[in-house]
Amino acid sequence: MLELLWVQDAGEARNGPGRGLHFAERAEDHTASPFGVILVPFNGDVSSDMPFPGWHYQPAYFPPPKGFHVGENSRNIAEPLCFYFPFQNPGVPKPQPSRNPHTVSEVIVSTPSTDTDRVLELASQADLLSMRSGKEHLVEITLDHHNSGRTEDYRPALPLILRW
């Protein structure tokens, strides 16, 4: 799933329960990484081990103690945010399935930042995800193994390349 976020209230983003995510600072700083990835267990393989060092974020829309594990690198706004959601059923309504017949084959996240806490290296071990060093922030998403041969590059408006 691709999700686009924006900051509606910078004061709340800076001082509210999600302040450790640094959304307001990311939105204001053109050198900040505009990306985040959420990892989930594969086929219900839930473990108490977290895939990278980090901290617990308890959003108001999840019943405690179900929340996100956030990568320790969240304070470094030059790096993509990394989340792990260790629960199969968060206890909130699921989005309705879309009729999109495409499947994700590969996601490549490029960043000019260094991996300060090894979070990116560890997150990159997830299936279909690669974190790479690059000259600029960029995400490349390949659907259906690029079977149609079509590509859309959304730069400079969005640092996004889609292949399907």
Q: What is the pLDDT along the chain (164 residues), one digit of tens a residue?
A: 677 788 999 999 999 999 999 999 999 999 999 999 999 887 666 666 899 999 999 998 888 888 999 999 999 999 999 999 887 665 556 666 666 678 999 999 999 998 989 999 999 999 999 999 999 999 999 999 999 999 999 999 999 999 99
pLDDT, residue 25, reads 97
pTM above 0.75, yes or no: yes
Place of tokens 């090894």: 118
**Per-residue tokens: 141:** 């998403």
Q: Give the integer Cα–Cα distance in Å for 35 and 124.
A: 14
- For β-strands 81-84 and 68-71, DSSP reports them as antiparallel
Q: Which pLDDT score is estimated for 116?
A: 86
What local confidence, expressed as pLDDT, does residue 8 receive?
Answer: 94
- How high is the pLDDT of residue 95? 60
Whether omega for the bond prior to residue 159 falls within 30 degrees of 0, making it cis, is no
Long-range pairs of 94-97 with CB within 8 A, sequence gap ≥ 24? 95/1
* pLDDT for res 47: 62
